[in-house]
A and B are shown apart, each in its own frame.
Chain A
Amino acid sequence: MAGVVDTIISWIFWPPLFQLVIAPGLVAALAIVIFILWFERKTAARVQMRVGPYNVSPRLGGALQLIADLIRYSFQEPIIPKTVDTAAFILAPLAMLVISVVPTAAIPVSPLPWTWPIPMEHSLLVALALTTLSPVFLVAAGWASNNKFSVIGSTREAFMVTAYELVFIISLLAVAAPVHSYNLVEIVEAQAGWRMFAILNPLAFLAAFIAILMSTSGFPFEIPESEHEVVAGPFTEYSGLLYGIDMGAAYIKRYVMSVLLTIAFLGGWKPLDPQPGAGLLAGYIAPLVVVLVKATIVMAVMSFFRAVYGRYRLDQAVDLAWRVILPMALAGYALGLIYGYLGVI
């Protein structure tokens, strides 16, 4: 009997499956995104002298509103117009969802080797490379819709990719230089106590934070889906469950990039320090929870911007990225190189 339970547990917690599907993969992503969406709507409402989600579960403060919305989208009839490219129309959002979750396979949540899904030797590069895959599906969704507003939205997303991609990569590489390795585990191990890279290298942290906002349509960069010039950008023709997936995919991508940001800049699972002999709970679950909590805090800070900022114009956002944020990321990278040369870490 104990053998059966042990086998089942070892199947569930087999790292490739666990990390990709359960946590920090799909299931945790959905749970945290639902929480963050509720948080965003509630804080925006409080700032704006309103109440926010309330009626669905008054005693919880309306927290189950998002579940109700998800159920509503699931039961709505997805209308697929005749003039669209059907295969691309249906597959693009699904592919975007799946590809957004894939980078979690390359992100370690614990220093113990039996918890890594893939060898973590160059995990920073692998994770970065995997995060760059998803924008093409957004462009494909807009193109497949056969609608002028969708094409304009897709074009804007393509422009934004040229703005944020380089910034994100350079600022994340800035943490690899002091540690002399691309191994995310070693990067986390080097940040002990208050020596988080967010404090030691604030330029790179800020550049990466802004790049995440740009890449996932966070205010003030909510440009591809801006409601008032292009009706919903690339997602104009979508309805039903596909629309729900589209709206959630941006937040899931934001979650994955926040997890990467937490590992690289905010010290990952520190101050917990699992020893090599630790069991499942202390060695795998506990550091995972710490990482998720930190990622949620990062996403919650991003939600506050919704109530305060308007929307940049496309050329102003690209201009800002190339004239201000990219030099900041390069300066952060140079700072990282200096740390590496002087052997500070």
Chain B
Amino acid sequence: MSSPGELKLSGWEVGETRKLPGMDVKKIGKDLYEIFIGPQHPGSGHMRIIVRLDGDVMVEVDPDLGYVHRTMEKLAEGRSFIKVIPLVERMAILDACNITLPYVEAVEKLMDIEPPERAKYLRVLLCEINRIASHLYGMGIFGVFLGHSTMYMWPFGDREVFVELAERLTGARLTHSYPVPGGVRRDVPEGFTDDLRKAVRYMRKRLEEYRKIFLDNPVIRARLEGVGVIPRNLAIELGIVGPNLRASGVEYDVRMVEPYEAYGELDFEVPVFEEGDALARAWVRVEEIKQSLRILEQVADKLDKMPREGFMHDKFWAKAPKLYKDVYSREGRVKLMPLFANLKVPAGKAFARAEAGRGEIVYYVESEGKFTPYRVRVVSPSFRNAIVFKYIAPGHRLMDLPAIYGSIDYFPPEADR
């Protein structure tokens, strides 16, 4: 956070144009009306946006981040490797599996192990459930920012279906902590795949209704068409991620570019739109939910066919006490193994990434061979998307700010870590 009076643009005169890579920026300034869309504001989330207005047109927009900063990178240096998983999960508990998965993959790369086949499919299962829930949350917040209360209630109600599925799978509604180095924590319960198929059918019907009430609604289309346009070269230059990038015509999805887990064997498409405005971003999210439903069906079929064992790497499973294996073969449930309490990871540097609901999340883990990591660096998708406020919002009217904010699906706790 910083005090707004010091927003110096280093000797930039009014009317002077400067060149940045891929764009020209010109300073406009006269009598500017400065308002703080601050933390206590219904339309701001946990952040402050400092807006300078010239009448109704925004001239400068300065995102003031850091209200939910929880010092995760510093805390991670003092905790054992397995305890970092619930720590980084708190960044965005909506898609908890997507957020913790790259960290677990980085630790696995350092230990040079790979999870068994069934564990990979289980991870993909939870990742896609989380992705659907996260997109529905984003669309709900987007609807309420535009004043459309039905679009707020419906996605949150439909999200319950998927959150309950996740609860049956992992035991917690939102904070799953499901992937662990070597595999996953639990296997699917009985009858899970049938409920999964029912949920997929239900969601397909509901997406049709969303289209009718929101995406084809003339008022919403008037609010969103042509608002917050990010042209393709600017999208690449600013380095934005996720559905915002795919709505601007760049076909980039980490699941296709560098397939991780079981994505290389699954059949799905990546929706790409050309216009780059807020409506395209909403459409990309709806299409991605459809693709996730497709993936879920394939995973459900695969899991039914695979034998029900081997969700944890042998390195750990072989050393588990006999009681564990007995309980598991009798009742199908298992707890976290005590081996993880003093997990020693060999020295090295690893880099891993995954496609979370909001975009690409990136981890850099460095270990010295001790029980705690030396450095954990995480760059979350919302932090990389924050630059949209500074460069895309100026020039629009004040009432476009919620439309832009909701369309890039900015999530402050994720950005602030």
- Name A's B-contacting residues (CB within 8 A): 44, 47-50, 148-149, 152, 219-220, 222-223, 226-229, 231, 306-316
- Name B's A-contacting residues (CB within 8 A): 33, 35, 37, 41-43, 56, 143-154, 157, 213, 217, 219-220, 222-223, 397-402
Besides A219-B147, A310-B220, A311-B146, 19 new A-B residue pairs in contact (Cβ under 8 A), listed by A number:
A48-B149, A148-B33, A148-B35, A223-B399, A227-B43, A227-B147, A228-B43, A228-B144, A228-B146, A228-B147, A228-B402, A229-B37, A229-B43, A307-B150, A311-B147, A312-B222, A312-B223, A314-B56, A316-B223
Distance in angstroms between the alpha carbons of A227 and B401 in the assembled complex: 13
A313: chain B residues within 8 A (beta carbon):
222-223, 397, 399-400
Provide a sorted-by-A list of 30 A–B residue pairs whose CB atoms are within 8 angstroms: A44-B149, A44-B150, A48-B152, A48-B157, A50-B153, A50-B157, A148-B33, A223-B399, A226-B399, A227-B147, A228-B42, A228-B144, A228-B147, A229-B43, A229-B401, A309-B148, A309-B217, A310-B143, A310-B151, A310-B220, A310-B223, A311-B146, A313-B223, A313-B397, A314-B56, A314-B397, A314-B399, A315-B56, A316-B222, A316-B223
A311: chain B residues within 8 A (beta carbon):
146-148, 219, 223
* Given A149-B35, A226-B147, residue A310 in contact with residue B41 (CB < 8 A): no
B255 → A minimal CB distance (Å): 32
Distance in angstroms between the alpha carbons of A222 and B402 in the assembled complex: 15
Q: Is the CB of A308 within 8 A of B217?
A: yes
Q: Which residue of B lies closest to A315 (CB)?
A: B397
A226: chain B residues within 8 A (beta carbon):
147, 399
Q: Which residue of B lies closest to A320 (CB)?
A: B222
Distance in angstroms between the alpha carbons of A2 and B401 in the assembled complex: 68
B219: chain A residues within 8 A (beta carbon):
220, 309-312
Distance in angstroms between the alpha carbons of A80 and B151 in the assembled complex: 35
Q: Is the CB of A152 within 8 A of B398?
A: yes
Distance in angstroms between the alpha carbons of A314 and B157 in the assembled complex: 31
A227: chain B residues within 8 A (beta carbon):
42-43, 147
Which listed residue (B41, B147, B150, B154) contacts A222, Cβ 8 A?
Answer: B147
Distance in angstroms between the alpha carbons of A48 and B210 in the assembled complex: 12
A238 → B minimal CB distance (Å): 15
Distance in angstroms between the alpha carbons of A251 and B232 in the assembled complex: 46
Distance in angstroms between the alpha carbons of A310 and B153 in the assembled complex: 13
Distance in angstroms between the alpha carbons of A139 and B43 in the assembled complex: 23
Distance in angstroms between the alpha carbons of A314 and B401 in the assembled complex: 13
Q: Which residue of A lies closest to B400 (CB)?
A: A313
Q: Which residue of A lies closest to B41 (CB)?
A: A231
* Given A310-B143, A315-B56, residue A48 in contact with residue B222 (CB < 8 A): no
A47: chain B residues within 8 A (beta carbon):
150
Distance in angstroms between the alpha carbons of A221 and B402 in the assembled complex: 16
B222: chain A residues within 8 A (beta carbon):
312-313, 316
B33: chain A residues within 8 A (beta carbon):
148
Q: Is the CB of B157 within 8 A of A49?
A: yes
Q: Which residue of A lies closest to B148 (CB)?
A: A310
B149: chain A residues within 8 A (beta carbon):
44, 48, 306-307
Q: Which residue of B lies closest to A309 (CB)?
A: B219
Distance in angstroms between the alpha carbons of A96 and B198 in the assembled complex: 54
